[in-house]
């Protein structure tokens, strides 16, 4: 395996699964040439005139779609850890004797541990997509036949759009669908909110199968996925476990340290002047993030400030802000709890978005860079503000990139993180895996201090005189290292064996994940 | 100009404006091969990070878009006869000294008579799009430099999608837009309802300019046109005359003959059993069509029947049906009056559609064929059920195709027409121009009788015993000819000079419009 050094100084594979790659060239430096992927032209003459595309089983649909060895099959992760469809899909593929599938999920979850046997027996050749938990560990152990590829949500859309990845068959879990293939995620027993992660698949895959456990008469409204892009519709008993698809409730952190971080983030937005009428921010569903939103809300009410829009991962906390008039809109990428799903279904100002609108770097702009502030997490940040979200300091690949890389393009990117976890420093000298270049990370907020990237002189100036504990990142690093009893050992990895590649938002290769030596 | 005889027996040009064509091969017979159009890949690095794409004038936007001689410029017709933007656009192009533009509107209206001077002076080379009124007459007179091409709404999308027509610059009239280019037609001083006719342009044109007279802060919700497809945003004082964009009110016909036709249509739907719970129909905004909807509504109420969906052209009459619970949904292609615009803005069950969802024949099915009944007009129908909507019996091209060809794929296609107009028969021996093959036209309903296509034995059986005046079409024809004082003279045309080609929904050439000899 030949490795080359890219513009970030990281060693990356020249080829991934036999295909030549472009190494990362720097932010905004790689200019794509060429044209978008070219789906085949279809004709209505080949589809049922009455619009009824129902076939009797998933097996039948896969057969009609021409499933064969070596194909690329895509799925989406809106059902999260409640997804039973994907496991059923690969059970079916296995039973059909088909081998060497490239699986292109938008993410995988612990529930997909079921698929390890299919990675072992060659049904699945390799995974391109976030590998959260067990599949990530399996990959880190060097057991996967091909090389994994991790992309951001935007990067996944970009790869479909640009033809970097051609999907033969997309399988879309549709909480509600009609016989024509129009589908929505905002209602039905397996409601997950929206289906944006499957949009690119529906547009660019050769064959698209919508699988539903809630078939309604045409038209399924809203049509988050358009039946005009769907080939077959399959009805099954259940897509998954609703309690694991969305939470009944989302929980704010109770940890005093995390609450402090959340309070700092809110204060930072106020003191820096970012929190002003018509501003926008992104907040996720982690415990710290939820707490931040609540603290910010208090400050907004106190100052009489209204946001123009909030980007979710929506939760009941964001929904309350919308309903209480603290924001005009929620622009939502995925709903995390039942209140988020309800709001999206009922409130026209709770808008569903997609990786195309929000994150695709190979578009005519996207929403991510318009945000005034984005608040994100990380597994590691180094003293040059480079950050990691996919591996732990022991080298194991345990998380996906999600929209994280895409959100780095916001006007003020804040990592809200504890300075250490389980006595392991989160602020490090050099990240195990580079997922976000330091040039795009503006502020690191920990329980023991706030570091502003020296490049952001404007922010340093804006918070001058604030009571916030602003320090150089090196100072926080030194404190943490002392507290944790010294610099931890580097992970033992095999530098000759790349198990997964980290793509940048433009499709270039940013870093490598190496096999962990156990 | 070499003409060939196509599968409908019509003489069509082998080439249009120098490009080789496929003659019509029969319904569903032409199977497209190949792939969709291939837009260039863009990168966010080339677009403003803050999402602000505003440029100071349309001229500036055209310059940035690289406007030059011989380009194809597209516009849409949602502003209908109130459109002042398109005239301003070509005034600007003229002032920039650019020549030989191919204009690709979704339709032109009498207000575009202003552009005749630009056809005369070579600013515009030719028009591909519906030419209603003066531009049609100009074309018929053989004055246009190139050959006109008429496509249905679905065919226009198909041509964009398949790459038959490559648009260099699309100019989208946006009644409301944000600086990123997200746009909607359902609000603003020039509100027109929806912007579906511009969807394909936004997706496939090289450069897209959104022009608005109502700029709002990001995000413009809903985003009927997605800013991710837009290059530049231009703010101007006014897009047009609101009173001509939508009517304050739409008018039901007062003509006793037309009312009789409307009543027959409603009775036909009931007697044939088409009007049943969960059925669907399409109704337009013509006076007869409005009357039909009212009569049908009475019958639905009387029988306690509810439709699943109605396809508009929406008007206050359809909106009332939605609000009174007589249909679950309106699937709307364009709004014709203020009530239609209001309903679309306020009611999630009044859904905006596009030529992609509804009409594109080169998709994985479309909505048109799912409809139980479509009620349409025509300028002529012949004794073989072939119909014409673009020329009059004097040979003049005065109307566009609109969604008419696409709607022929409904399960029961009804032409609701007077048997004669101004003493000129509408039922003829052979249509002047073939726009809809008789195989797709099921019922012709006139004030003096109803003709059912003999192919539809099922319909003939279904209405057996009905009190409706069902007759062979030849009998109606004979009556009308006698009434009008004999077979009218055929138009005097130059059979060597095709001034416009009629495309079928699959992009093949269905018929020719010849120069009228005046």
**pLDDT given for residue A363 in this prediction:** 97
pLDDT in tens, A2-48: 999 999 999 999 999 999 999 999 999 999 999 999 999 999 999 99
- Give the model confidence (pLDDT) of A428-446 as tens digits: 999 999 999 999 999 999 9
Mind listing the pLDDT tens digit for each residue in B230-282?
999 999 999 999 899 998 878 899 999 999 999 999 999 999 999 999 999 99
Closest among B128, B122, B113, B131 to B93, alpha carbons compared: B122
pLDDT higher than threshold 80 for residue B285: no
Asked whether B294 and B317 are in contact (CB, 8 A), the reply is: yes
- Taking CB atoms and an 8 Å cut-off, how many pairs form between chains A and B? 182
Report how far residue A404's alpha carbon sits from residue B77's, in angstroms, rounded to the nearest whole number.
41
Could you tell me which residues come within 8 angstroms of residue A478 by beta carbon, excluding any fewer than 6 positions away?
Answer: none
Range B73-81 average pLDDT: 96
The per-residue pLDDT of chain B, averaged, comes to 96
Mean pLDDT of A243-265: 91
Instruction: Tell me what pLDDT residue B200 has.
Output: 98
Which tokens is B375 given?
Answer: 């009620």
Q: What size, in residues, is chain A?
A: 518
| pLDDT tens by residue, B25-54 | 999 999 999 999 999 999 999 999 999 999
pLDDT digits (tens, 9 = 90+) for A472-500: 999 999 999 999 999 989 999 999 999 99
Q: Contacts of residue A363 in chain B, CB cutoff 8 Å?
A: 42, 44, 228-229
* Pick from B323, B176, B337, B313: nearest CA to B247: B337
Q: Is B427 helix (H, G, I), strand (E, B) or coil?
A: strand
| Number of C-beta neighbours around residue B91 at 10 A | 17
Q: For residue B414, is pLDDT > 80?
A: yes
| Residue of B159, B209, B356, B365 for testing the chain A interface, max A β-carbons within 10 Å | B365
pLDDT at A132: 87
C-beta separation of A174 from A127 below 8 A: no
pLDDT of A212? 98
With 80 as the cut, is the pLDDT of residue B161 above it? yes
What is the SS3 assignment for B276-307? CCCCEEECCCCHHHHHHHHHHHHHHHHHCCCE
Residue from B34, B36, B41, B220 whose CB has the most chain A CBs within 10 Å, to mutate? B41
Cβ-based neighbours of B332, under 8 Å, separated by 6 or more: B193, B194, B311, B312, B313, B314, B340, B344, B350, B351, B352, B353
Q: What is the pLDDT of residue B282?
A: 95
The candidate with the shortest Cα–Cα distance to A130, out of A114, A112, A116, is A112
Mutate to test the interface with A, among B222, B279, B347, B364 (most CBs of A within 10 A): B364
* Contact residues, chain A, for B349 at CB < 8 Å: 221
> What integer best gives the mean pLDDT of chain A?
96
Nearest partner of A174 among A75, A45, A305, A289, judged by Cα: A75
Contact flag A361-B47 (C-beta cutoff 8 Å): no
3-state secondary structure of B86: helix
Q: A164: nearest CA in chain B?
A: B41
In this model, does residue A275 exceed pLDDT 80?
yes
Give how far B145 is from chain A: nearest CA, Å. 32
What phi and psi values does residue B516 have, to the nearest 5 degrees? -85, 135
Contacts of A504 (CB under 8 A, 6+ apart): A24, A30, A155, A405, A510
The answer to whether residue B223 scores a pLDDT higher than 90 is yes
B33 vs A contacts (CB less than 8 Å): 41
Across the range B356-378, mean pLDDT stands at 97
From residue B203, give the alpha-carbon distance in Å to each of A156, B196, B208, B227, B229: 19, 12, 9, 11, 6
Please, is B3 exposed, middle or buried when counting C-beta atoms within 10 Å of its C-beta (0-12, 13-18, 19+)? middle
The mean pLDDT value for A253-261 works out to 94
B180 to A365: CB separation less than 8 angstroms, yes or no: yes
Rounded Cα distance between A115 and A113, Å, is 5
Interface contact flag, B365 A53, Cβ < 8 Å: yes
**pLDDT tens-digit series, residues A194-214:** 999 999 999 999 999 999 999
B52-66 pLDDT, tens per residue?
999 999 999 999 999
Inter-chain residue contact A365 with B411, CB threshold 8 Å: no
* B208, closest residue in chain A (CA to CA): A364
Strand A101-105, strand A124-127: pairing: parallel
**Cβ contact (<8 Å) for A43 and B161?**
no
DSSP label at residue A166: -
Report CB contact under 8 Å: A365, B308: no
A445: helix, strand or coil: strand
pLDDT of residue A250: 80
Q: Which chain A residues touch B223 with a CB distance below 8 Å?
A: 357
Rounded CA separation A50/A231 (Å): 14
Which distant-in-sequence residues (6+ apart) come within 8 Å of A91 by Cβ?
A: none
The pLDDT of residue A285 is: 75
**Residue B324: how many other CB atoms lie within 10 Å:** 12
| Strand spans (E) along B137-191 | 148-150, 169-174, 176-177, 183-184
Give the Cα-Cα-Cα angle A370, A376, A379 (nearest 5 degrees).
145
Q: Which residues contact A472 (CB under 8 A, 6 or more apart)?
A: A451
3-state SS record for A268-315? HHHHCCCCCCCCEEECCCCHHHHHHHHHHHHHHHHHCCCEEEEEEEEC
User: pLDDT at position B203, please?
Assistant: 98
- Whether the CB-CB separation of B10 and B433 falls below 8 Å is answered with no
Pick from A28, A51, A309: CB nearest B365:
A51
Instruction: Determine the pLDDT at residue B168.
Output: 98
The pLDDT score that the predictor gives to residue A181 is 98
Distance CA A91, CA A123 (A): 10
Contact A33 B41 (CB under 8 A): yes
Taking a C-beta distance cutoff of 8 angstroms, is the pair B13, B2 a contact?
yes
Nearest to A40 among B35, B45, B369 (CB): B35
The angle that helices A316-323 and A338-346 make with each other, rounded to 10 degrees, is 40
Nearest CA-CA distance, residue B136 and chain A, Å: 31
pLDDT at A84 over 80: yes
Query: What pLDDT digit, counting tens, does each position of B325-346 carry?
Result: 999 999 999 999 999 999 999 9
Chain B environment of A32 (Cβ under 8 Å): 41-43
Mean pLDDT of A99-118: 97
B90-129 pLDDT tens trace: 999 999 999 999 999 999 999 999 999 999 999 999 999 9
Q: Which tokens sit at A502?
A: 């980290």
- By Cβ distance, the residue of A43, A49, A329 closest to B31 is A43
Q: If you count them, how many residues does chain B have?
A: 518
Model pLDDT for residues A498-512, shown as the tens digit of each residue: 999 999 999 999 999
> Average pLDDT in the B365-373 region?
98
Q: Is A47 within 8 Å of B161 when comparing Cβ atoms? A: no
Mean pLDDT value across residues A315-334 = 97
User: Token pair of B209, please?
Assistant: 């300019």
Please give the pLDDT value at position A270. Answer: 98
Residue ranges of domains in chain A, CATH in brackets: 56-128+165-245 (3.40.1080.10), 256-496 (3.40.1080.10)
Whole-number pLDDT of residue A287: 83
What percent of chain B is predicted at pLDDT more than 90?
95
**N- to C-terminal Cα distance for chain A?**
21
Of A284, A268, A362, A277, which Cα lies nearest the Cα of A330?
Answer: A284
Distance CA B72, CA B126 (A): 10
Closest CA to B269 of B366, B137, B412: B412
Is the pLDDT confidence value at B284 over 80? Answer: no
Q: What is the pLDDT of residue B351?
A: 97
Chain-chain contact of B45 with A53 (C-beta, under 8 angstroms): no
Residue B232's pLDDT is: 98
pLDDT at B477 over 90: yes
Distance (Å, whole) CA A398 – CA A132: 5
Q: Which helix (H) or strand (E) holds B350?
A: strand B350-352
Interatomic CA distance for residues A464 and B239, integer angstroms: 48
DSSP secondary structure, A312-372, as one string: EEE-HHHHHHHHTTSEEEEEEEEE-BHHHHHHHHH-TTEEE--HHHHT-TTSS--GGGG-S
Q: What are phi and psi of A408, to 5 degrees?
A: -60, -20
């Amino acid at each position: 395996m030949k490795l080359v050094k890219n513009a970030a100084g990281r060693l990356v594979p020249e080829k991934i699964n036999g295909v030549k790659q472009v190494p990362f060239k720097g932010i905004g430096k790689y200019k794509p040439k060429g044209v978008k992927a070219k789906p085949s032209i279809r004709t209505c003459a080949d589809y049922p005139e009455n619009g009824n595309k129902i076939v009797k089983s998933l097996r039948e649909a896969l057969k009609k779609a021409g499933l064969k060895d070596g194909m690329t099959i895509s799925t989406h992760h809106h059902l999260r850890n409640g997804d039973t469809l994907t496991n059923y899909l690969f059970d079916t593929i296995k039973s059909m004797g088909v081998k060497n599938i490239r699986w292109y999920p938008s993410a995988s979850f612990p529930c997909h541990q079921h698929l390890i046997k299919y990675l072992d027996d060659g049904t699945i050749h390799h995974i391109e997509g976030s590998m959260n938990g067990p599949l990530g560990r399996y990959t880190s152990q060097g057991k996967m036949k091909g090389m994994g590829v991790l992309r951001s949500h935007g990067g996944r859309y970009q790869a479909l759009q640009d033809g970097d990845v051609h999907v033969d068959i997309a399988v879309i879990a549709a909480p509600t669908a009609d016989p024509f293939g129009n589908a929505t995620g905002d209602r039905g027993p397996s409601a997950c909110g929206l289906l944006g992660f499957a949009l690119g698949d529906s547009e660019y895959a050769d064959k698209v199968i919508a699988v539903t456990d809630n078939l309604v008469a045409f038209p399924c409204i809203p049509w988050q996925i358009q039946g005009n892009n769907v080939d077959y519709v399959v009805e099954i008993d259940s897509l998954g476990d609703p309690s694991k698809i969305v939470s009944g409730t989302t929980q704010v952190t109770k940890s005093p340290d995390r609450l402090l971080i959340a309070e700092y983030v809110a204060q930072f937005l106020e003191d820096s002047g970012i929190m002003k009428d018509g501003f926008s921010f992104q907040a996720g569903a982690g415990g710290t993030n939820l707490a931040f939103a609540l603290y910010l809300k208090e400050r907004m009410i106190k100052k009489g400030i209204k946001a123009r829009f909030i980007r979710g991962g929506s939760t009941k906390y964001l929904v309350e802000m919308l309903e209480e008039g603290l924001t005009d809109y929620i622009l939502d990428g995925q709903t995390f709890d039942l209140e988020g799903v309800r709001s999206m279904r009922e409130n026209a100002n709770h808008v569903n978005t997609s990786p195309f609108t929000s994150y695709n770097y190979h578009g005519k702009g996207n929403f991510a860079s318009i945000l005034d502030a984005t608040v994100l997490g990380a597994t590691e940040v180094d003293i040059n503000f480079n950050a990691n979200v996919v591996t732990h300091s022991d080298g194991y690949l345990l998380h996906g990139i999600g929209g994280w890389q895409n959100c780095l393009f916001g006007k003020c990117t804040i990592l809200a993180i504890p300075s250490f976890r389980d006595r392991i420093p989160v602020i490090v000298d050099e990240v195990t895996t580079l997922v976000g270049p330091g040039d795009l990370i503006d502020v690191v907020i920990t329980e023991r201090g706030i570091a502003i990237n020296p490049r952001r002189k404007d922010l340093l100036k804006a918070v001058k005189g604030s009571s916030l504990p602003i320090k150089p990142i090196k100072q926080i690093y030194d404190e943490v290292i002392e507290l944790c009893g010294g610099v931890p050992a580097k992970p033992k990895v095999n530098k000759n064996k790349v198990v997964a590649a980290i793509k940048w938002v433009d499709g270039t290769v940013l870093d490598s994940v190496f096999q962990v030596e156990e």
